[in-house]
Amino acid sequence: MSFVVVEKTDRIAWVTLNRPEKLNALNNQVLQDLEQTFATLEEDPEVGVIIVTGAGEKAFVAGADISELKSLDTAGARTQALRGQAVLQRIESMPKPVIAAVNGFALGGGCELALACHIRIASENARFGLPEVSLGIIPGYGGTQRLPRLVGKGVALDMILSGDMVGAADALRMGLVSRVVALADLKAAAEKLARTILTRGPLALRHAIAAVNEGMEMPQDRGLQYEAALFGLLAASQDMQEGMGAFLEKRPAAFKGL
């Protein structure tokens, strides 16, 4: 895959969007490569956590490829939006934790890609924005839906309607990212978080992601019932016995995902 590079080490898969001459912009080939990559990683038993980043130091992903979008008619634009949404929905629905290590610009489709990841860590030079209205369109890969759920309606509308970028510090303040580090420390910070997550029960991680993702779309009372159901399922797992046994015996847990 020419535009997506995958490197695996110690159960961590680094997924790097590799189109630096275009600031890693999302064209149709990149979307196809991303979809194939995540389909493969989901089934890979040697991968427990995935980290997504962009090649170079300037951009995570600077947006969609405008040269492709410009020629679309109404039907083509709708199809393109649904295509991008499907790829990012696959990422958001991954049962394995996905961390976005945002290095530089995350604009338009790049911001939407980061929003689809479960956790976002940003370098100090990161810039986030949904500038689509300046092009006469709106975010089409899920930005109008995920951003308000993450930062609230008012803040999301401010970003979407102004098209302005926000820096890493403001992104942290509004809850768009959970951590900000120096650019030189970004890879190490993402790896450290990934390694912490890898010590946790894989079944618990899978169900925690499901509980949050699915529960956010339910009324709270139904979400609580769903949480309780997943909690009950985990009580029947070998991992729960191992995790609690290890805690009581004051030793590291050896989870098997069973």
Q: Which residues are the active-site residues?
A: 112, 132
Distance CA 70, CA 208 (A): 40
For residue 11, count CB atoms less than 10 angstroms from its CB and return exposed for 0-12, middle for 13-18, buried for 19 or more. Answer: middle
Distance CA 90, CA 137 (A): 24
